[in-house]
Structure 1
């Protein structure tokens, strides 16, 4: 192949050298010659690497595979080939022309950096954020917590009625509301509560109850349907009130908010509404720590004792939930783990209780069960 015009850049200066380039006699290298070069240059064909950032398709810019301090081990010099025939021949015969080059160990470093990023993210999500949430939960003024909790509850309601957005889930049967208020008053009468409890029942088949920040407590109709006595519901309600008083739901919400913020930085494009939705979803499926669940159980038992409500109902509800395993897994069972030890603790507590009185009459219990059936 005869010499053809090309351009050469030594990479050390900005000067462009007008050169000719041709195949060597043994056809194993490109020979580069020019009046402004110190002498002819021999570039082995096997060392040639094309630069993929060349925008002009009518030219081919190549360099050599060589030791360097750059990310890719390449020579700083560049050769711009202008001859279409030579460019076509290079594409056809040089399989390594577009081979990506990295320093030895570079891939290993990338994996190490990626692993470090994952570890740092997990550390933030599971260690630092929970610790920050525990601290912040004790610093937020109750008034702001209540306002925040109402926003979260509204989002939770939207999530629960996502298939029928125009439907009002609130259960407002007057007799049922009166029975529910009587239960709440009986449980809290002997307690010094931090919050004015906002308690509502939502018309949803999920077997669940949950606490939101600021004293918001929600019971779903599915839980009332499964309960066999008002004392069972009272035990669950007292348990959720324990989470309220310990501000567990606020800690969980803050942790979810922090997680949303961290994921925003990592993944991008999370809106404020999405963060609130994530918080709501976390609270609907609230999975508190074993210590938090144990503390809420003890709070519930003490509350039932002070209100002279039979704690056997609380224990019996554990049994109702366990009987449902293998048939359907209720939300309350999956997010508030039912263990034999927790049930036995409640039964043992009930055996040692003093005098108790029914928390609702039969008629009031029937009204509570029917709270979602209209006025």
Structure 2
């Protein structure tokens, strides 16, 4: 090393590369850097040497040096690239602080303050700004745009629930579909709807149903499995139709989509996987306000009354779910999205007690076909 070993030197100010020779100084306290293109030899004290880990490997070592600058990392802009294995090994062996990161005094508290500010800004966006924007957009978005958005959300939900392709989870038994359409027609015939309802059943064991923007409603097979009568399913369907008509689903999904977009930017997920997961989880576990739930209940009961459907099935379904709460790990859905209260069930029971002239919404054969729609 005393005769010098070839290296490349970059001054950090120009793009030029200087072919130099590097040697250990006579006092063994510094590297001497000399070259024909350098104005004068340079002396880099060993104590100041720092290696750039992202441009260094077994065959090359890129060095800079610690020095006072205004940057967060106080380092000389110049770079010295060494290829000599013996010198590289010697530096690794004798300079334990070679890869140390240098920061100005007070930098860590400053970074902590910036991080706290960034977290606060993200939380403000998630819980204040995005909800306000979602409420505004839900009121002004054209219906055709809302329908397209809802169809996209429904496709994402199918992917979230395990569908490998669009339509993979859709249950399409003809007799079951006919019974489902009959139920929807019976409920909506007496009311002018803002949307053309698209109603599907997904083949998934979760006990749940959800509304997406623009008239998209999905029932999961698990809910059909747990229901004991077609009137129970009709009550749930009427409740979800209320969320569609009141644009609750649109507000909630716009908020989820905004949150997903913000978090994917923060997390650096540009494949969209995180967005699908966030939107999917939010749609399945949507927590509407007490006011929205009460309004949806009233809408559902009125719809059942106008269709001459016994509303006691609506109350009975929630009572059954309440009994099953905590007994089954496979029952996350409807209890978390639409919390059951005795008041809600009692209100539906009282409403049903005042009904007269009701008739079954499906025949026994049609109910059997609906329960087998995924077969």
Place the TM-score, normalised by the shorter chain, in its bin: 0.7 to 0.9
Alignment-derived partner of residue 25 in structure 2: 22
Q: Equivalences for 1:4-15 in 2 at 5 Å? A: none
Distance in 2 separating the partners of 1:338 and 1:21? 79
Shift of 1:192: 3.6
Contact 1:285/1:335 (CA < 8 Å) preserved in 2?
yes
Shift of 1:193: 2.3
SS at match of 2:370: coil
Q: From 314, 326, 332, give the equivalent of 2:334.
A: 332
SS at match of 2:363: helix
Alignment-derived partner of residue 162 in structure 1: 163
Alignment-derived partner of residue 250 in structure 1: 250
Question: Measured at CA, do residues 206 and 89 of structure 1 come closer, stay the same or move farther in structure 2, by a change above 3 Å?
Answer: closer
Shift of 1:210: 1.9
Q: Could you report, residue by residue, the CA deviation over 1:166-206 in whole angstroms, capped at 9, with x for unpaired residues?
A: 675124317x735x455444433443421233334455443
* Alignment gaps of 5+ in structure 1: none
Alignment-derived partner of residue 72 in structure 1: 73
Contact 1:5/1:21 (CA < 8 Å) preserved in 2?
no
Q: Does 1:298 align with 2:318?
A: no
Distance in 1 separating the partners of 2:204 and 2:84? 74
Distance in 2 separating the partners of 1:275 and 1:62? 41
Alignment-derived partner of residue 119 in structure 2: 118
Contact 1:252/1:283 (CA < 8 Å) preserved in 2?
yes
Q: Could you report, residue by residue, the CA deviation over 1:123-152 in whole angstroms, capped at 9, with x for unpaired residues?
A: 333332222222112222223323443444
Distance in 2 separating the partners of 1:285 and 1:222? 16
Shift of 1:314: 1.8
Q: Which moved more, 1:59-68 or 1:318-327?
A: 59-68
CA RMSD of aligned residues (A): 4.6
Q: Could you report, residue by residue, the CA deviation over 1:78-119 in whole angstroms, capped at 9, with x for unpaired residues?
A: 889999877655443332233221112223333333333333
Alignment-derived partner of residue 316 in structure 1: 316
Q: Equivalences for 1:112-261 in 2 at 5 Å? A: 112-157=113-158, 162=163, 169-173=171-175, 177-178=178-179, 180-261=180-261
SS at match of 1:210: strand
Shift of 1:74: 4.0
Distance in 1 separating the partners of 2:149 and 2:33? 75
Q: Does 1:364 align with 2:366?
A: no
Contact 1:169/1:204 (CA < 8 Å) preserved in 2?
no
Q: Which moved more, 1:281-290 or 1:251-260?
A: 281-290
Distance in 1 separating the partners of 2:334 and 2:31? 78
Count of aligned pairs: 366
Shift of 1:338: 1.9
Distance in 1 separating the partners of 2:297 and 2:58? 73
Distance in 1 separating the partners of 2:58 and 2:230? 80
SS at match of 2:219: strand
Distance in 2 separating the partners of 1:42 and 1:197? 78
What TM-score do you get using the length of structure 2 for normalisation?
0.74
Shift of 1:63: 5.8
Q: Could you report, residue by residue, the CA deviation over 1:216-274 in whole angstroms, capped at 9, with x for unpaired residues?
A: 22333432332233432232122111101111222233233323433443324335x98
Contact 2:248/2:292 (CA < 8 Å) preserved in 1?
yes
Question: Measured at CA, do residues 12 and 144 of structure 1 come closer, stay the same or move farther in structure 2, by a change above 3 Å?
Answer: closer
Q: Which moved more, 1:128-137 or 1:156-165?
A: 156-165
